[in-house]
Amino acid sequence: MRAEVVSMTADNLDMEAIRRGGDILKQGGLVAFPTETVYGLGGDALNPQASMKIYAAKGRPSDNPLIVHIAEFDKLAPIVAEVPEKAKILAEKYWPGPLTMILPKSDLVPQETTGGLDSVAVRFPSDRIAQELIKAAGGYVAAPSANTSGRPSPTTAQHVEEDLGEAIEMIIDGGPVGIGVESTIVDVSGDVPAVLRPGAITMEMLKDVLGEVTIDPAILGPMAAGVRPKAPGMKYKHYAPKADLTLVEPANVAEARKTGEAVAMTQEQVNAMVETVWKLAKEKIDAGYKVGIICTDESRSHYPEGEVRSIGARKSQASVAHNLYALLREFDDLKVDYIYSESFSQDHLGQAIMNRLSKAAGYQIYKV
């Protein structure tokens, strides 16, 4: 099977194609679609066979639960056992948007969708195409990122086609996504809400409306043997580029990641970091290797040799998040031996950026 690719924009929806996509989902098939974070691989969340198909298409372990996407507020109540007060506050403030909440599930949600857990992850995306497709499918669409397990999440329909073009029925191409990193996951079942995966709804934004918020220690660094992250997906080896990737980072920022504390970098730290990235890259270039460098718009001119690619503007965290996964895919295609990357302030969206980058580097950090 080769997936049918249909193109549309949020301002110019192809409702006929969306109806067909909805029918495919209702019949237990799979449709990939854009969201504001990354592309999702959708299946009917209430159909256990559809969830099994999602795991198979992605090559993903079936104990790694899926996020259930809704497109209307009143679709929440039927799939959860209760809605804690803090969840109501978050939904009111940040839905629709890049926020996933972990809630106790109701019997309507099959164990296959939640990887055997009694809780369910729920998200109400803001993307118009996603919303219309979810409604056309009956209201509940399970959707992990639409990549093959182990590859970077897809931020364009072309990425989806590369990975899953042969495995699913339809891909809706809505152009490049806006945010570029997956949604923030918050567990609101305990007294103190806990972030299980940082994203565009930042720690700062959550504390703003909830007061105290913790971060699951399992996501802060290399996982110690026996530690179980609350989001089962975080335990799997995430995407690692084919090349040996080293992040260069100021020591205090690297240290702060162990506690989840927010820290910005000074200009002096940035300068020292750029100098070190170049020194390390140059040593390998002189030794005859093909070397990739992840720089920023601001630092590009400091790197005279190597496969130099800007990940975005340091002054715009949004631009860095937006380009991150596409750049990692590009380096795989370039077949470099080593990659040296600058790192970023660990505050606001920077926490999500550094979470993904440090995982991609297998926590190989060169401290300056």
Q: Residues in the site for ligand TXA, rule: CB under 6 A?
A: 35, 37-38, 40, 64-67, 100, 102, 114, 117, 119-121, 123, 143-145, 182-183, 185, 196, 230-234
CB of 257 to ligand TXA, least distance (A): 18
Name the one range near Mg ion by CB under 5 A: 57-65, 72-80, 141-149, 237-245: 141-149
Min. distance of Cβ 212 from ligand TXA in angstroms?
20
- Cβ pair 145, 38 in contact under 8 A: yes
List the beta strands (DSSP E) in the chain. 4-7, 31-33, 40-44, 67-69, 99-104, 119-123, 141-142, 170-173, 184-187, 194-197, 214-215, 244-249, 291-295, 307-310, 338-341, 365-367
CB of 1 to ligand TXA, least distance (A): 22
159-166 contacts at long range (C-beta below 8 A, 24 or more positions apart): 159/39, 159/325, 159/326, 159/329, 160/32, 160/39, 160/41, 161/3, 161/5, 164/3, 164/32, 164/41, 164/57, 164/58, 165/2, 165/3, 166/1, 166/2, 166/3
Which residues sit opposite 307 in a β-bridge?
Answer: 292
Contact between 145 and Mg ion per CB under 5 A: yes
The one segment of 44-52, 56-64, 138-146, 208-216 that binds Mg ion by CB under 5 A:
138-146
- Rounded to whole angstroms, the Cα distance separating 2 from 153 reads 20
Residue 54 CB, nearest approach to ligand TXA (Å): 9
Decide whether 229 or 367 has the Cβ nearer to ligand TXA. Answer: 229
Query: Can you read off the two tokens belonging to residue 23?
Result: 């029918």
Q: Angle at the Cα of 31 (from 28 to 33), degrees rounded to 5? A: 145
Query: Mind spelling out the 3-state secondary structure of 206-233?
Result: HHHHHCCCEECHHHCCCCCCCCCCCCHH
> Which residue's Cβ has the minimum distance to ligand TXA?
233
Q: Which two tokens stand for residue 245?
A: 């990737």
The smaller minimum CB distance to ligand TXA, of residues 112 and 307, is found at: 112
Which residue, 94 or 278, is less far from ligand TXA as judged by CB? 94
| Torsion angles phi and psi, residue 251, rounded to 5 | -60, -40
Q: Count residues near Mg ion (CB under 5 A).
A: 1
> Which stretch in 105-113, 137-145, 259-267, 275-283 sits in contact with Mg ion by CB under 5 A?
137-145
Other Cβ atoms closer than 10 A to 90: 23
Return all residues near 143 (Cβ < 8 A) that are at least 6 apart. Answer: 33, 35, 40, 41, 42, 43, 54, 66, 67, 69
Report the residue number, 230 or 309, with the smaller CB distance to ligand TXA.
Answer: 230
Shortest distance, position 338 Cβ to ligand TXA, whole Å:
28
Site string for Mg ion, 242-281 (x = CB under 5 A): ----------------------------------------
Output the smallest distance, CB 153 to Mg ion, in A.
5
Say which entry of Mg ion, ligand TXA, none residue 64 contacts (CB below 5 to 8 A, set by partner kind): ligand TXA
Q: Closer to ligand TXA at the Cβ: 194 or 354?
A: 194
Nearer to Mg ion, 154 or 306 (CB): 154
Comparison of 22 and 233: residue with beta carbon closer to Mg ion:
233
Q: Which does 119 bind (CB under 5 to 8 A by kind): ligand TXA, Mg ion, none?
A: ligand TXA
Q: Which is nearer to ligand TXA, 113 or 341 (CB)?
A: 113
Distance CA 139, CA 150 (A): 29
Residue 8 interacts with which of Mg ion, ligand TXA, none, CB < 5 to 8 Å by class: none
Q: Give the binding site for Mg ion (CB under 5 A).
A: 145
